[in-house]
Amino acid sequence: MNADIDITGVTLKTERLVLRPWRQSDLEDFYEYASEDGVGQMAGWMPHKSLDESRTILDMFIREKKTFALVYGGKAVGSLGIENYNERYFPELSDLRGREIGYVISRAHWGKGLMPEAVKAVIDYLFNVVRLDFILVGHFEWNRQSARVIEKCGFQYVKTIPYETRMGTMEQSEESILYRKQ
């Protein structure tokens, strides 16, 4: 089952990153990477066309209290959300507490190892503080960068499920899982 999540007041620090809740002052940083062609499509959404579009989504991030800003060098360069997973596709997990993570990072920071660093920090938080039993993560079949992050973080492939993107397309999402060590 999907566990309740609220990251209000939570700050995670890694060697190079600070993960914290989004702030209104992050708007321009958010728009900068969210408007880059090729970034959002990796996660199923189109590049932002205006600062107003980014503001609407930023307001949602703040209101929902489940998405971290990834701050590198004092600038928000990506996000990592702790999302509800689709329980219909995972009835075998109904007696366990879990969530699904999703992430995106500025193209300028691809290939630097920042996303595995962020994901590992969130895994530690979700297992050792929130005490989730499992974490799911998915990637589109063609998204090899996300597949590498998932592999580096120790997730194991479970199944492929259909996923309707915010662009109105259907993709196949390769879902992987990590269980909390007992």
> 3-state class of 113 per DSSP?
coil
Given a contact cutoff of 8 angstroms between Cβ atoms, the answer to whether 80 and 119 are in contact is yes
Give me the domains of the chain, ranges plus CATH numbers: 12-179 (3.40.630.30)
Q: What is the dihedral of CA 51, 52, 55, 60, to 10 degrees?
A: -140
| Kind of pairing between the strands at 134-140 and 98-105 | parallel
Residue 84 β-bridge partners: none
Residue-level pLDDT at 134: 98
Strands ordered across the beta sheet of 156-164: 12-13, 18-21, 67-72, 75-83, 98-105, 134-140, 170-179, 156-164
What Cα–Cα distance (Å) separates residue 80 from each residue in 48, 119, 170? 17, 8, 22
Neighbouring CB atoms inside 10 A of 65's CB total: 15
> 3-state class of 18 per DSSP?
strand
Residue-level pLDDT at 40: 56
| pTM score of the predicted model | 0.91
- Phi, psi dihedrals of residue 136, rounded to the nearest 5°: -100, 155
Q: What does the pLDDT profile of the chain (182 residues) look like in tens digits?
A: 999 999 999 999 999 999 999 999 999 998 988 888 656 555 655 666 887 888 888 898 999 999 999 999 999 999 999 999 999 999 999 999 999 999 999 889 888 999 999 999 999 999 999 999 999 999 878 678 888 999 999 999 999 988 776 656 677 789 999 999 87
